Structure 1
Amino acid sequence: MLNGRDPRIDFFRGLALIFIFWDHVPHNPLGQITLRNIGFSDAAEVFVFLAGYASVLAYGKVLQREGYWMAGLKILRRTWVLYVVHIFLLAILMGIVFFANSKVETRDLVQEMGLTHFITNPQQALTDELLLRFKPNLMDPLPLYIVLLAGLSLVLPLMLRYTGAVVAVSATVYLLAPWMGWNLRAIADGVWYFNPVTWQLLFVLGGAAALHAGRPRPVKPRGLCRQPLFIVAAAYVLAAGVITLSWRWPEVHDAWMPPALSNLLYPISKTDLSPVRLLHFLALAYVTAKLLPGRAWTEHWLARQTCRMGRFSLEVFCLGVLLAPLADMVNALAGDAFVMQLFTALVGAGLMALLAAWLELNKRLSQHPQSA
């Protein structure tokens, strides 16, 4: 039986949303402390994995309680909501970017955001938008989530009964996709930046983790230093962090990196979710779960704000997408001053937290209407 909502999942979803916002603001000093600077994976892996976890947890309960057809209909209804949100979000984003571009004279923000296709061929761009082929910068995660969630409507009953088999098939598709060239068509690079044929494995693994967490397991007290898997995972996370930090100094990196290891490691593809990225995220997630086994720390004030953002991840993600070009515009107008960059990063995260607080308050008011 699936367990209830885990506040740790909400916390890390909220943290991933903050990191995604910071990573999308050029020259943002707080972007230096996000996951992409301390390892091979980044907040995108966290977002997709936890999306799979939360989706299977939520709709798995619906399937167990109301049957497959009701669960499938609710998944497809949510997929439609995401699709409509994607269309409106892109329209608002284009308006913001065009406005920002008129204010910033030193850069072409329209080109940087990947909106040139709309300028040169607006009619085709509108069609491509409806077909999820026109995805400017910042917009890639949402279409990926739409496709993966739609696929869950077919896979969910199999996941609940044959979890291992579904993971095995998913892993096989993941391994074959880069070799066979499987991807979806898109404008710009010709394919989706987040290849859904490979990223589906992370979504499925997230769902499998949700099912595994709901199964009773005997408690075996044992120090972390005596757990071989933890030691190996922690060593890999540490090694990835050292290698990633060395990228800041190419001469140092080239001097100590063995050619054999370099040929094995590079290129690290984000589009096809390179195995070293996947393994880094899984190792990082395992180490984090072992170091933070309880839930008491999520009761702290700052953690509660982050958890709230994770509970309203769609709305907060959309706000972050819209705030990123505005923060970039303000920073550019201020001459990319460090203080302004830090200010816009903190204000943006604060506005995302305020939106989540307002949505939670509104939800409570709707659940407990005042009597006339």
Structure 2
Amino acid sequence: MRDPRVDVWRGLALVFIFWDHIPGNRLGELTLRNIGLSDAAELFVFLAGFGAAKAWGPLLLRQGYAAACRRILKRAATLYVAHIFLMVLLLAVVFVANAHVETRDFITEMHLEPFLTSPDRVLVDAVLLRFRPVLLDPLPLYIVLVLAMGAVLPLLVHRPLLLLSGSVALYALWPDLPGQARFGGPGWFFNPLAWQVLFFLGALVALHGHRLARLTGSRPAQVVVAGILVLAAALALSWRVPDLHDRVVPQAVAQWLYPIDKTNLDVLRLGHFLLLAWLASVLIPAGRWTDCGPARLLRLLGRQSLPVFCAGVVLVPVADALATLAGSTLAADLLVGAGGVLVLAALALLVDWLSRPLPEPRTA
């Protein structure tokens, strides 16, 4: 049975990702990155693994490995086509925004200069997933992880401890992706060799999470985890006041903590997210709350995660440009942030309606 909380959390991650990517938007102050060491990216990747395992694990058992691989390859192809189409659409939107907002240079801000200076090479790199402008890193990561899922699906279903051991070993031994993966710039913003551990942890929880049920009733563990999360929130909030942070956090501790690397999924980010996810799953059980207004909206967004994510990427420069033209006021931030979510919800509703099977024709 589908857990409605998964769609709620996935929808929440999509909203937070949209707000986080609008530069300077006040609604971005409400997202996960402000109260801890991880953010919506960890939530999204974890749930991507969770959803993939729920879809393809049972398929492996019912129809065999070949059928599961066909479905996985079809999904990877869909993601690839979506990525290429999204890049073209994003380029068009950014160039239009750049022409109408004189005070901003969106082309430079989104690292699109190579497209102007070497379009032939950039087109080749785009097809090979080596050219990924700002906002377009998640889908290439997802494509790689989906293909990796095809390779290890039998282990996921039948030998979960072996998969867990291999995934953790890869995360620990290969934190840096070798080579230059982006034209004229650094490597992958999301290192697949690091982020795979979160994806496969989500997959393992989806199929084998019932083995952890006995841990949920440990009240002392809940208290300890809550305390750690409070300390992490205090640390994140202290970043807003550098002088206070420097007085409270000893230099030796700061040298150990920083930098908290997102590209290679720093162990502090990974640990913080896992503790947060565990505590949320314990303290927020499934129930009627998932049918209330806001939760229903998030569930709708979560069910249509791919089109909603793609639309959110396109809406980011639109929202940024509109807020800039309006003077970047609080009202403008709220309007473009909330309005963007409503647009995403309308799209999700349309896709949801189009995906429903047609009713059987009535016979006379």
* TM-score w.r.t. length of structure 2: 0.96
Compared CA separation, residues 220 and 131, structure 1 to 2 (3 A)? closer
- What's the counterpart of residue 13 of structure 2? 16
Q: Which runs of 5+ in 1 are unaligned?
A: none
Moved more, 93-102 or 326-335: 326-335
Q: Work out whether 1:290 is the aligned partner of 2:286.
A: no
- What's the counterpart of residue 201 of structure 1? 197
For 1:287 and 1:259, how far apart are their aligned partners in 2? 30
For 1:61 and 1:148, how far apart are their aligned partners in 2? 19
Which of 322, 343, 366 is matched with 2:314 structurally? 322
* 1:70 positional shift: 0.2
For 1:118 and 1:79, how far apart are their aligned partners in 2? 25
Preserved contact between residue 7 and residue 298 of structure 1 (Cα < 8 Å): yes
Which of 104, 111, 118 is matched with 1:121 structurally? 118
User: CA offsets per residue over residues 12-38 of structure 1, 9 Å max, x none?
Assistant: 000000000001111111100101111
* 1:324 positional shift: 0.5
1:122-141 equivalences under 5 Å are: 122-141=119-138
Paired AA for residue 279 in structure 2: V
Compared CA separation, residues 217 and 317, structure 1 to 2 (3 A)? closer
* 1:220 positional shift: 9.1
**Aligned-CA RMSD value:** 1.7
Q: Work out whether 1:34 is the aligned partner of 2:34.
A: no
User: CA offsets per residue over residues 235-288 of structure 1, 9 Å max, x none?
Assistant: 221111100000000000001101221111100000000000000000110110
Compared CA separation, residues 58 and 330, structure 1 to 2 (3 A)? same
Preserved contact between residue 98 and residue 110 of structure 1 (Cα < 8 Å): yes
Paired AA for residue 203 in structure 2: G
Q: Work out whether 1:155 is the aligned partner of 2:152.
A: yes
Preserved contact between residue 183 and residue 192 of structure 1 (Cα < 8 Å): no
* 1:154 positional shift: 0.7
Which of 286, 301, 309 is matched with 2:293 structurally? 301
Which of 167, 170, 173 is matched with 1:170 structurally? 167
Compared CA separation, residues 262 and 217, structure 1 to 2 (3 A)? closer
Q: Work out whether 1:360 is the aligned partner of 2:359.
A: no
Which of 197, 215, 228 is matched with 2:220 structurally? 228
Preserved contact between residue 177 and residue 191 of structure 2 (Cα < 8 Å): no
* 1:232 positional shift: 2.5
Compared CA separation, residues 64 and 367, structure 1 to 2 (3 A)? farther
Compared CA separation, residues 133 and 221, structure 1 to 2 (3 A)? closer
Compared CA separation, residues 202 and 220, structure 1 to 2 (3 A)? closer
Q: Secondary structure at the match of 2:355?
A: helix
For 1:160 and 1:351, how far apart are their aligned partners in 2? 38
Q: Secondary structure at the match of 2:335?
A: helix
Compared CA separation, residues 156 and 362, structure 1 to 2 (3 A)? same
Compared CA separation, residues 217 and 133, structure 1 to 2 (3 A)? closer
Q: Work out whether 1:67 is the aligned partner of 2:64.
A: yes
Compared CA separation, residues 339 and 188, structure 1 to 2 (3 A)? farther
For 1:17 and 1:219, how far apart are their aligned partners in 2? 31
Q: Work out whether 1:57 is the aligned partner of 2:54.
A: yes
Q: Work out whether 1:280 is the aligned partner of 2:272.
A: yes
Preserved contact between residue 10 and residue 44 of structure 2 (Cα < 8 Å): yes
Compared CA separation, residues 218 and 137, structure 1 to 2 (3 A)? closer
- What's the counterpart of residue 244 of structure 1? 236
Q: Work out whether 1:189 is the aligned partner of 2:181.
A: no
* 1:164 positional shift: 1.1
User: CA offsets per residue over residues 81-110 of structure 1, 9 Å max, x none?
Assistant: 100110000000000000000011111100
Preserved contact between residue 51 and residue 203 of structure 1 (Cα < 8 Å): yes
- What's the counterpart of residue 104 of structure 2? 107
- What's the counterpart of residue 212 of structure 1? 208
- What's the counterpart of residue 343 of structure 2? 351
For 2:213 and 2:308, how far apart are their aligned partners in 1? 38
For 2:342 and 2:221, how far apart are their aligned partners in 1? 38
* 1:189 positional shift: 3.2
Preserved contact between residue 183 and residue 196 of structure 1 (Cα < 8 Å): no
* 1:75 positional shift: 0.3
For 2:180 and 2:51, how far apart are their aligned partners in 1? 25
Paired AA for residue 347 in structure 1: G
Preserved contact between residue 7 and residue 298 of structure 2 (Cα < 8 Å): yes
For 1:146 and 1:298, how far apart are their aligned partners in 2? 30
**Identity in percent:** 45
Preserved contact between residue 140 and residue 194 of structure 1 (Cα < 8 Å): yes
Paired AA for residue 331 in structure 2: V
For 1:188 and 1:296, how far apart are their aligned partners in 2? 51
Preserved contact between residue 54 and residue 207 of structure 1 (Cα < 8 Å): yes
